[in-house]
Chains A and B, each alone.
Chain A
Amino acid sequence: AQSVSQHNHHVILSEAASLELGCNYSYGGTVNLFWYVQYPGQHLQLLLKYFSGDPLVKGIKGFEAEFIKSKFSFNLRKPSVQWSDTAEYFCAVTRGGNNDMRFGAGTRLTVKP
């Protein structure tokens, strides 16, 4: 079945550590890729998106992601995490001209001060 996979269920890091969260998808054709973040008690917020062009995408709060088409991957990175980055992170995919977003299971990030 076509899906979006996030490899890590729960990641625990200390402040200033580097972060990489994996995301793979299994859809063919044109895809649009997103990372959303959900802070405790808050709504989903967009971190970054990829539609086309430069496969290295920079988002808010120092996050970036790289689209590697050959690997069907869109991994999220941040060089130095802060305690305030503690949240749940979701990778999502839409296909072609559709808006039906397919989400990964999410990765819970805990940053220890």
Chain B
Amino acid sequence: KAGVTQTPRYLIKTRGQQVTLSCSPISGHRSVSWYQQTPGQGLQFLFEYFSETQRNKGNFPGRFSGRQFSNSRSEMNVSTLELGDSALYLCASSLTWRTEAFFGQGTRLTVV
């Protein structure tokens, strides 16, 4: 069974640009969550999608957005990139709510 797949693995962007990250969940999983991991702030919840609807959102500015498609694949977008957005972005998928989450390898975003 394939795990959670995130693409791309690495990205370098310039301040002010926007970026789109992609996540393919485990087959059959309907919940996809996104997290930001940095050395200073640790792992922080961004948002969760279930059946194409955003169920929860963390405390991030509106520059961070996401969506989920009918096949449960999800994308997150960050507009007007700032240096502080440099981080490892992790996607996790779950069968439904109140079940364990499986994490992908992450996308390492560097903003220069």
Among the listed B44, B56, B92, B106, which residue makes an inter-chain contact with A98, where contact means beta carbons less than 8 Å apart?
B56
CB–CB A90/B98 < 8 A: no
Q: Which of B44, B56, B103 has the most CB of A within 10 A?
A: B103
CB–CB B42/A105 < 8 A: yes
Report the interface size class on chain B. 20 to 34
Interface residue? B68 (CB, 8 A): no
For A106, list chain B residues within 8 Å (CB). Answer: 42-43
Contacting chain B: which of A42-50, A67-75, A78-86?
A: A42-50
Determine the main DSSP class of B at the interface with A: strand
Interface residue? B90 (CB, 8 A): yes
Report the number of A-B residue pairs with Cβ-Cβ less than 8 Å.
61
For A89, list chain B residues within 8 Å (CB). Answer: none
How many A residues face the partner with a CB closer than 8 A?
24
Within 70-113 of A, Cβ neighbours of B (below 8 Å) are at 90, 92, 94, 96-106
Assuming the contacts A34-B100, A43-B105, A105-B42, asked whether A99 and B33 have C-beta atoms less than 8 A apart, the reply is yes
